[in-house]
Amino acid sequence: MKILLVLLCCIFALDVAAQNQKTPFQSCNVKGSTTIYNYKSHKWTTTDEADSRSGSQPASTFKIINLLIALETGVIKDENAIIKWPGTTDTTLYGYRPDIYRDISVKEAFELSAGWAFIELAKQVGREKYKTFLQKSKYGNEDLSEQGDDFWNFGKFAISPRNQIEFLINVYKDRTPFSKQNIAILKKVMVTEQTADHTLRSKTGWTRVEGNDIGWWVGYLESKGNVYFFATRITKPRSVSNPDFGECRKTITKEFLSQLIAN
């Protein structure tokens, strides 16, 4: 769905607590927050300050920094590198997705969120190198005690929505421990929508921890001479059926982005 960059007829105010009508979170039957940073005005806006500073597993949004680390350590040369299908994966934890069970390029693995592919890269990177780059990048709580290869989905490794944005700002400004060449590759791979008026770079994430679904959408939107960095995280009990959970990560974010851009 193309992101709407026009003033909506009935837009929800960012001061969600003051509204009598349902908030986007309530409409989606989820809890969570949206946090946005206006680059031009240096202004932070959030629907829930406490939630914006609370950490949880980054899920597939970790692919943003994971790609940079794989590039910087030489595990892959560029986004066209092919990751060999290992022949098996855990369909219990990640669901059955036969369309991605094949040799796949890094770019396609990022776009399709092929978790198994980035797990294969993680095995080659190793924990010590991850710790080094995470510390230098000030990304997350640096707790890599989870024994599995995908510590970004399970275990104690966590990052807050605000920290997600802080990292993306540094990526945008080329203020990270990664080379300009590798940052350029990431920025190219992250493009999820591009028109004459705007460019959207983003990544979704979804994990299941302690009986809850945790969904993310993070990225930044370049529009009208400004940049809007965003991080939306939503949660719900796994026992609660919600077929719109995945799409709600985006629809909620778009509600608030639309208002900020219109103003």
Residue among 169, 145, 151, 156 at smallest CA distance from 59: 151
Q: Is 241 a catalytic residue?
A: no
At 77, list the tokens: 């040369």
Query: What is the Cα–Cα distance from 92 to 154, expressed in whole angstroms?
Result: 14
| Neighbour count for residue 80 (Cβ, 10 Å) | 11
Count of alpha carbons within 13 angstroms of residue 168, beta-carbon side = 33
Helices (H) and strands (E) in the chain, counts: 10, 8
Phi first, then psi: give them for residue 195, nearest 5 degrees: -135, -175
Q: Which of 52, 60, 113, 137 is catalytic?
A: 60
Q: Is 103 strand, coil or helix?
A: coil
Which sequence positions are flagged as catalytic?
60
